[in-house]
Chains A and B, each alone.
Chain A
């Protein structure tokens, strides 16, 4: 018979605190302190987060378990790529097919003058950070459930679970970025075969993409900390996240450009709409990722009065500003997400 379900998050009036023994605190020496009541309402840890010194202790403990993090990540990647001939290759086939399908549809449907050159490169480029975000969200929503058997039997810092999930996806993201760079180069050579002059779509600022990547990593980690806990208590969270991501996909510039909001001339509030749009950290990261790596898009066969090709603007000062705001937002989400996780982590194993 299955054990009855334990639900203890909000019900227990007092909450015990873990205290590491000071001086000479060799690994594995610990003492549980006397339970301390938090607030009169009997709600454990809700609305309050751990104090700074506690946070430092959590981080120190996490550092001691870094080898386990490595092993969890490796295990995750091994299991993901195992039992298939192509392994990593298979996981690239799906996004590539998707990108090529969208490209075909867009180029076929769009009227003359609205066909962007090398549309597939721009879409592929933006798909990578999007895939990192969305897969990491879905994986972390399932992560604590996957590790639940292990958590009920052994101790390790619980945050390793969402962290390992994010890290495995990060490795995948980095590998996919390499594939993208090779793909871009291949594209240039491909068109050369058809007599076009060699045009390298990458620009030097591609060296700056670690910046939006770092921001994205903070965002994803913070969000994973929160969603993994919620998903453990409510199975609905996974379905809500799945549907939510499908809508969110259209709220970030993957198949279109954020500049198109600015360029709309039949709309009064386009500057305000654009600002609001770019306050979404993911939109700012994807925009930066794309504009830093690829040259401005040209519209095929469209020239302005000076006879120059009409193109999307390159990374502007405003977009750097939005990138900065997005980095700060993501840092805040990371800190809040980790604090939230820490207030809940001792209850995770009790949910049977």
Chain B
């Protein structure tokens, strides 16, 4: 594929329609003809091309469209208009461990999540040990996940995601999980993945994480790119802007 971007968005729009009513037939019938809906333009003409091997951080205020863009890349939604090309497999870590079922054991959940993230069952079986060791959960792995702490949940979720073959990793605010020591391990693993040439696209409000991991940062505002540059420049400008907002 040469220099073709691995993720390429052109004039990307995404509009959500918020309904102010609950999901019942009664309210639907009663509200007929009245304006109870509200449109939210989460993305308003986003242009962004990401090359293979880049680690791109998305920064910006809540509601600027960062997570929506991640969801579009992860094929959760269809764009309202515009084009989006994604040329690789995607492992979404939008919320770690989202697919876990509390009644199943850790091991059973590994298979479930691994296959959702694009591995075959055979591949999951081969990598299960590595995943369990990385998450440091060997002694609990055959217990139902309802007995796990939230930290254990996240560790296992992270471990599964970083052991997949996906060319693109999407991370929404959970770049590193667990205690200090485990976070170090997460960062080391992310560095290793970057070295392998995987592409990383993540959303973070933690500027130290942005500076530490990203090779490029994109500041999003109102569903568009406001600034696209090296992490240091973007973080400086973004923080200056945020500070300015605090002291009018």
Q: Which residues of A contact B (CB under 8 A)?
A: 4-8, 11-12, 14-18, 27-35, 67-68, 70-71, 75, 78-79, 82-83, 149-156, 232-236, 346, 349-351
Contact = CB atoms under 8 A, between A and B. Distances in A.
Contacts of A33: 83
Given A32-B83, A34-B82, A70-B121, 11 more contacts: A14-B81, A16-B80, A29-B88, A32-B82, A68-B116, A75-B104, A75-B108, A150-B99, A151-B76, A156-B116, A234-B23
A150 B22 CA distance: 21
A18 B78 contact: yes
Interface stretch (B10-18, B212-220, B237-245): B10-18
Interface residues of B, number: 52
Contact of A28 (B19, B80, B90, B115): B90
B131 interface: no
A154 B83 contact: no
A31 B92 contact: no
B188 interface: no
Contacts of B79: 16, 32, 35
B98 A153 contact: yes
A8 B77 CA distance: 11
A12 B23 CA distance: 18
Interface string B64-76: 0000000010111
Interface in B190-220: none
A31 B84 contact: yes
Contacts of B86: 28-31
B118 A67 contact: no
A335 to B, nearest CB: 23
Contacts of B89: 27-28
A79 B100 CA distance: 12
B17 A346 contact: no
A152 B76 contact: yes
B104 A79 contact: yes
A12 B95 contact: no
B84 A32 contact: yes
A35 B74 contact: no
Given A27-B118, A235-B24, A155 B95 contact: no
8 contacts: A31-B85, A32-B79, A33-B83, A35-B80, A68-B116, A71-B121, A78-B104, A155-B74
Closest 6 interchain pairs by CB? A7-B19, A28-B89, A155-B75, A153-B98, A35-B81, A16-B78
Contacts of B117: 154
A28 B88 contact: yes
B94 interface: yes
Nearest to A72: B112
Contacts of B85: 30-32
Contacts of B115: 67-68, 71
A346 B112 contact: no
A6 B18 contact: yes
Contacts of A35: 79-82
B78 A6 contact: no
Give the one of A16, A27, A34 with max B CB within 10 A: A16
B221 interface: no
